[in-house]
Amino acid sequence: MTTATRIETATVAPARPRAVTAGLWTLQGLLALMFVAGSGLPKLFGEAYAVQIFDELGGGPWLRLFVGLAEVAGGIGLLVPRLAGLAATCLVVLMVGATGAQLFFLDVGYWYTPVIVGVLLAVVARVRRAEITALVSRA
């Protein structure tokens, strides 16, 4: 087996049933919409509630902008086939941080929201683990 053949086989996504593929892309699309339009852009544009939360955290505008950029980038990454698994993995890490912030720093009882979103992202990352492996092996 030549090097070219190994690289070629490593980049091919595993065959999935059509319903699984459709469900996965639907989930990724909904998560992308949520992260870009529902979460990331309000942070970047300085929506009052987002500013208030990050003021309560004590992180200031730099943390709000960083998280907003990470959410927008991750949401867009969920729509790119080669990047979707890696984007989901990175967003899981972000949701762990969001859960910690909700539990330990904010006086808001919505800690379960980032947990649920994180579990959905973990499903995407798990199903797309072959793409993650191929992407990492190319780097």
Q: Residue 10 domain-assigned? A: no
| Inter-residue contact 74 to 94 (CB < 8 Å) | yes
Q: Residue 70 domain-assigned? A: yes
Number of domains in the chain: 1
Q: Residue 1 domain-assigned? A: no
Q: How far apart are the first and last CA of the chain?
A: 21
pLDDT, residue 13, reads 64
Task: Return the amino acid letter for 47.
Answer: E
pLDDT, residue 139, reads 82
pLDDT, residue 109, reads 78
Q: Residue 7 domain-assigned? A: no
Q: Residue 11 domain-assigned? A: no
* 69: its two tokens: 């950029």
Residue 120 sits in which domain range?
19-138
pLDDT, residue 7, reads 47
* Residue 29 pLDDT exceeds 70: yes
Q: Residue 38 domain-assigned? A: yes
pLDDT grade for 4, boundaries at 50, 70 and 90: low
Please count the other Cβ atoms lying within 10 Å of the Cβ belonging to residue 30.
Answer: 12
pTM: predicted TM-score of the whole model, two decimal places: 0.87
pLDDT grade for 2, boundaries at 50, 70 and 90: low
Backbone angles phi, psi at 127, to 5 degrees: -65, -30
Q: Residue 130 domain-assigned? A: yes
| Inter-residue contact 52 to 96 (CB < 8 Å) | no
Q: Which residue has the higher pLDDT, 5 or 80?
A: 80
For 47, what's the count of Cα atoms within 13 Å in the CB-facing half-sphere? 12
What is the tens place of the pLDDT at every residue in 89-115?
A: 999 999 999 999 999 988 767 899 999
